[in-house]
Amino acid sequence: MAAACPKCNIEMPVQARFCMQCGSDVGGAPVSTVVHPTSWLPRGTRLGPYEIEQLIGEGGAGTVHRARDRVRDRIVAIKVLHPSLTGDSEVRRRFVREARLMRTLSHPNIASVFDLIEEQRLLGIVMEYVEGPTLSTELARWGGRMPYAVIRAIMTAVLNAMDAAHRHGVIHRDLKPDNIFLVESPEGDQIRILDFGSVKLQMETGPKLTAFGTTLGSPYYMSPEQAMGKADVDNRTDGFALAAIFYEMLSGKIAFDGKQVAEILMKIVNSMPEPLSRVAPGMPPGLDDLIEKGVAKDKKKRFGSTTELAAAAFQAFGLQATADRASIEAWGKKPVAEIEAALATATPPAPAAYGAPMPMGVTPLPNQAPVAAAPMSVAPPAGGRSMMPIVIGGLVLLIVISLCGTGLLFFFNR
């Protein structure tokens, strides 16, 4: 199933917030539903040992179906590449390469990829079937702003999972609350990150996949380099999205919000989110520095890894952590009550002290202490004459030249 924009009637994914043609905000608006006859597989379709049971989602690159693995007797999810893309040999090559790479990536917080379906007219990835609320749902349940003790459990799992993926050479490129699931289990909620790969294909194949609106459906967490259409994305691109998600969890507000895609992208490229100290009073002041570094326009100024971002977040709250997975995992596994007790006795560093030396491996955050601007004056250099007459003379000369140029133009245009 797909949706049609009520304004320009162009087809787009059901979950898209913005129309990919006119940029209109269609979130919550009534949309007409259309059936794309080649974008979904009917119930009962057999793909090797897998039997299609239900269409559960449609995105920019294709559809996702729930299916039963008849050999292993388990429920799986199958992401099928849109048929209009499978005829492109380069798209097929990259899709297959990405699927095989994801099969080698094993992490408890990343949805597992089990198999690759490769037929003449169909390409699909068989992966773990994930059921549970998304982080978007949890944000809505908490009314937007979430307690840090709860945020800590979610973000440490996500940050560690992304660190493992980055070390494996895998960049997500579309991290957002809708791709982070909280799966219920006897041990409590387990985090699963979904949708690796499809956005990498989009970045590498250009407008072919962009035409289906993968990016325009969720532009809030795009990095500046993605918003400008650059292809040189890396782990710091994911870091930008994670910092924006962290900001939203702490404040209840989207870091880069807007009513149209163009407005959002302009903010991502040119603006900074309002400081947390203003939108979420009572938060440790060092978090302003953390967010500023996390969503820096120049990716070279961001955190070098997701574990650095995690360690900086703990340190901002006055908790001791270092930028290594063991330290972050240890904090992530602590019970909520223990975290709350630690926060109650912790002393967050002041903003001016937040640039002080940190433990080995942690990139210091910028010192945000205000610096007085130098007065605008033309003081005479030591042992020399005042520069004021020279400056005034130069301005007069520029005015005269400008007037002469205007006069010449008028003369020749008569």
- Write out the catalytic residue numbers: 174
Give every CB contact of residue 211 below 8 A, 6+ residues apart in sequence: 20
Give every CB contact of residue 241 below 8 A, 6+ residues apart in sequence: 172, 174, 175, 176, 221, 222, 223
Please give the span between the terminal C-alpha atoms of the chain, in angstroms, as a whole number: 66
d(CA 209, CA 59): 10
Residue pair 331/319 in contact by the 8 Å Cβ criterion: yes
d(CA 209, CA 129): 24
Query: Which run of H or of E encompasses 190?
Result: strand 190-193
DSSP symbol at 300 = G
Residue pair 139/177 in contact by the 8 Å Cβ criterion: yes
Give every CB contact of residue 19 below 8 A, 6+ residues apart in sequence: 5, 7, 8, 10, 12, 26, 216
d(CA 143, CA 164): 31
Q: CA-CA distances (angstroms) from residue 339 to 141, 288, 312, 330, 347?
A: 21, 22, 16, 11, 14
| Strands (E) located in 13-73 | 32-34, 46-47, 50-58, 62-69
What's the sign of the alpha-carbon dihedral 347, 351, 355, 360? Answer: positive
d(CA 276, CA 148): 13
d(CA 98, CA 96): 5
- Look up residue 281 and give its two tokens: 């009073």
